Amino acid sequence: MVNIRGADTPTDRLRCAVVGSGNIGSDLLLKLRRSTVLEPRLLVGIDPASDGLRRARRLGIEATAGGVDALLAAAPDIDLVFEATSAAAHLANAPRYRAAGLTVLDLTPAAVGPYVVPAVNLTEVRAEPNLNLVTCGGQATVPIVAAISRIAPVSYAEIVATIASRAAGPGTRANIDEFTETTADALCRVGGAARGKAIIILNPADPPLIMRNTVFAAVAADTDVDAVTESIERMVETVQGYVPGYRMSAPVQITPRGGPDGGLRVSVFLQVTGAADYLPSYAGNLDIITAAAIATAERIRPELKAEVGA
Amino acid sequence: MSTTDSPVVDSTDHVPPLTGRRIQICDTTLRDGSHSVRHQFSADDVATVSAGLNRAGVPMVEVTHGDGLGGSSFAYGFARCPDDELIRTARAQLTDSQLAALLLPGVGTIEHLRRAADQGLDVIRVATHCTEADIAAQHLTEGRELGLVTVGFLMMSHMLPPDRLAAQARVMADAGAQVVYVVDSAGALLPHQVSTRVAALRTALPPEVSVGMHAHNNLGSGVPNALAAAMAGADHLDGSCHGLGAGAGNAATEVLVAALDRCGAETGIATQALIDVAADDVARICAGNLPALDRTALLLGYCGIYSSFLLHARRAAQQYQVAEADIIRALGRHRPVGGQEDLIIDVAIALAQRRQPS
């Protein structure tokens, strides 16, 4: 096999495989190529005619249509797997990865392993062999809920994610409940809210709109609102550290008696402009979940390298 | 004279245009109408109105939060009464009418649908933006498996030309919808535009799938639009008592049924009893909140903006001290779809900031 990037030289970069040759897989490959500590070793698909596989080969990355069997055959040369297939496929694949000793970052809504939101809980979950990236909306909004929770208890958090129709892949469209349920669950488990709700809206406008996310949170009337605002602003900077196109489109809004139980409503309006690696910049939803996966991989690399060395 | 006879003198050979047609009315006072009262219907209100509608012989009654199952939220307004309780309450009154609920995939889930089915739902109406029919497939399929009548609801139908709207209707029919509605959520359509859309659906759908029409009144043509739909082949029409509903409200059920009588259609509804329900129950319960075709409601229809945005724009205008009409016009530039009520706040903040540069 020929690898134009020089795979013969021993590397301390993490050797990565991407399973799934669609939009997410293709975007991941482009981001992996840019990373100084991650190396795209293998793209795994199931359709020999896939554009994604052809593109990977053009980039000099080995690509196979042999599915997970081909991946498992190459397992000794792989440190980390990115799952970019579907929830159903990951449910089938996860036990096989585990048996082969492969660590996996799961970008499907399968949620086999615990959720990871790099700005919030990476330290707690970094040793887990299977981490789930929640959803695009979850990566955009859970950090904000966590930023409020670290100041005051959030009795209820709700998010509205508005995504360009063209940026919502067939998997999302066929299983839209998985998006809302997984995101709502992560608002509670990772964001710290007592109750959570997620709403997703697809907008077909042309030119496509940039991904928008609104976070509403209910907190008690006597909450220190300056501390909440400051915590949210700090969190936005943290997320910007790995998602450069992440920003607030308006200042944090605090509405008295705006909550369902008479407390305060905190409203945060976010936009995510994609890095335009694979899909155009309007697809911030694609960008934020792949960027979060890359950030996770880069930060868990020392553990994985230590295991390999041991 | 008999109340079924028209008081209008006509030539003796005149045949009313819908003679022999059976039109199924769905009254949505207790769903779309709940926008008018900011989703604050009590269980008593629901019991009173559903009992009246049942008595008048309305064949289908829709009950839920205005934004459907699971709609109670910061984004759309918290309901006074949970969906489960509203549905249970209506069920107890509807001895003859079918009980329907709305579900917007992305807002409500299959879990909500199953719970509603457990409370005795007969009909699920699954609503998507008119270009996004495929996201309804899972919910329509589940509705069929639960033994419910399934209806597809193509919202903001003014945003697609008839042929493309019909293609989306096919997607819903293929997923199991037994009726597919042209839904004029923005009240932006006029009768001739309703006719072409209904006719396109009628041609594209298999004969066993019916076509419906849900009209809003923002351009003042709610009832005429519903009549145009019937004449173009729609067999299902929505209305709400006193036109209660988002924006300038819906086609008023009692007006629509009276007009259908005069067109020769069969609705099975006791028209005068229905007129009494609208006047004695709904107008009383909703006093002070009956919809009006005011400036902002008209602008919604004129700019093609989702009717439910009206009261949210009104509240944001008050909170941020900007004009409602400016919010509506600014929203138009974003090409928003139903469910993007959060954008209204964002737009109002931007307008306020522009006025007072800090």
- The answer on A92 and A155 residing in a single domain is no
How confident is the model over B53-79, as a mean pLDDT?
97
Q: Are B173 and B205 in contact (CB under 8 A)?
A: yes
Q: How far is CA A198 from CA A172, A179, A234, A271, B26, in A?
A: 14, 8, 23, 16, 29
How high is the pLDDT of residue A175? 85
CA-nearest of A96, A98, A99, A150 to A120 is A150
**Partner-chain residue, chosen from B138, B334, B343, that has the shortest CB–CB distance to A177:** B138
- State whether residue A3 sits within 8 Å of chain B by CB: no
Domain regions of chain B by residue span: 24-285, 308-355
Does A2 reside within a domain? no
Question: What tens digit of pLDDT does each residue of A40-96 get?
Answer: 999 999 999 999 999 999 999 999 999 999 999 999 999 999 999 988 899 999 999
Domain match, A143 and A248 both: yes
Domain B308-355 grouped into CATH 1.10.3470.10: no
CB neighbours of residue B275 within 10 Å: 18
In tens, the pLDDT along B280-302 reads 999 999 999 999 999 999 999 99
Residues B178-206, mean pLDDT to the nearest whole number: 98
**Whether B335 and A209 lie within 8 Å, measured CB to CB:** yes
Picking from B73, B335, B353, the nearest residue to A197 by CB comes out as: B73
Output the domain CATH number for residue A52.
Answer: 3.40.50.720
Q: Is residue A243 situated within a structural domain? A: yes
Q: Strands across the sheet with A62-64, in order?
A: A62-64, A38-44, A14-19, A80-83, A103-106, A130-132
Q: Which of A63-67, A304-308, B70-74, B283-287 has the lowest mean pLDDT?
A: A304-308
Mean pLDDT along residues B130-155: 98
A273 in any annotated domain? yes
Q: What is the mean pLDDT of chain B?
A: 96
Residue where the block lists tokens 């048996």: A99
Answer whether A181 sits within 8 Å of B73, measured CB to CB: no
Percentage, residues of chain A above pLDDT 90:
82
pLDDT band at residue B358 under the 50/70/90 scheme: low
What local confidence, expressed as pLDDT, does residue A170 receive? 83
Residues A27 and A123 in one domain: yes
**Range in A7-11, A298-302, B170-174 with the lowest mean pLDDT:** A7-11
In this structure, the answer to whether residues A230 and A157 fall within a common structural domain is yes
List the 155-214 stretch of A: residues with Cβ below 8 A of B. 158, 160, 162, 165, 173-177, 179-181, 197, 199-205, 209, 212, 214
Whether A103 and A150 map to the same domain: the answer is no
Give the best residue of B113, B342, B349, B356 to mutate against chain A (max A CB count within 10 A): B342
pLDDT for res B4 = 66
- As a whole number, the mean pLDDT across chain A is 92
Would the pLDDT of A152 be above 50?
Answer: yes
**pLDDT value of residue A3:** 41
Q: Are residues A31 and A124 in the same domain?
A: yes
In B, which residues are within 8 Å of A174 by CB distance? 134-135, 137-138
Instruction: Tell whether the model's pLDDT for residue B103 goes beyond 60.
Output: yes
User: Is the Cβ pair A201, B340 closer than 8 Å?
Assistant: yes
Instruction: Kindly list the catalytic residues of A.
Output: 136
Q: Are residues A66 and A126 in the same domain?
A: yes
B105 to A176: CB separation less than 8 angstroms, yes or no: yes
Residues A124 and A249 in one domain: no
Lowest mean pLDDT among A104-108, A300-304, B13-17: A300-304
The answer to whether residue A5 scores a pLDDT higher than 70 is no
Is the same domain home to A144 and A261?
yes
Phi, psi of A250 (to 5 degrees): -150, 160
The pLDDT value recorded for residue A298 is 94
Tell me, yes or no, whether A172 and A271 share the same domain: yes
Q: How far apart are CA B14 and CA B17, in angstroms?
A: 9
Is residue A7 predicted with pLDDT exceeding 90?
no
Percentage above 90 pLDDT, chain B: 94
In angstroms, the CA B115 to CA B117 distance is: 5
Residues of A in contact with B345 (CB under 8 A): 214, 250, 253, 267, 269
pLDDT at B12 over 80: no
Instruction: Give residue-wise pLDDT tens across range A202-248.
Output: 999 999 999 999 999 999 999 999 999 999 999 999 999 999 999 99
Q: Is the pLDDT of residue B3 over 80?
A: no
B137: chain A residues, CB-CB within 8 Å:
174
Residues 211-240 of A with CB under 8 A from B: 212, 214, 216, 218
List residues bridging with B192 in a β-sheet. none
In this predicted structure, the answer to whether residue B270 has a pLDDT above a threshold of 60 is: yes
- HSE-CB at B116 with a 13 A cutoff on CA atoms is 33
Helix ranges (DSSP H) in A111-154: 118-125, 136-149
Strands, E, within chain A: which ranges? 14-19, 38-44, 62-64, 80-83, 103-106, 130-132, 156-164, 196-203, 211-219, 246-248, 253-255, 264-272
Q: Is the pLDDT of residue A4 over 70?
A: no
The predicted structure's pLDDT at residue A287: 94
A1 pLDDT higher than 70: no
Instruction: Verify that A261 and A140 share a domain, yes or no.
Output: yes
Contact list in B for residue A203 (CB cut-off 8 A) is 129, 335-337, 340
CA dihedral B135, B140, B146, B149 (to 10 degrees): 150
In this structure, what CATH number is given to the domain that contains residue A260?
A: 3.30.360.10
Annotated binding site of B: 31-32, 185, 214, 216, 306
Given a contact cutoff of 8 angstroms between Cβ atoms, the answer to whether A169 and A23 are in contact is yes
Please report the pLDDT score of residue B5 as a whole number. 78
The pLDDT, as a whole number, for residue A309 is: 47
Homologous superfamily, domain B24-285 = Aldolase class I (3.20.20.70)
Q: Is A145 in the same domain as A31?
A: no
Check whether A137 is labelled as a binding-site residue.
no
Segment among B312-316, B319-323, B330-334 with least mean pLDDT:
B330-334
Residue A234 lies in domain: 136-282
| Domains of chain A: total | 2
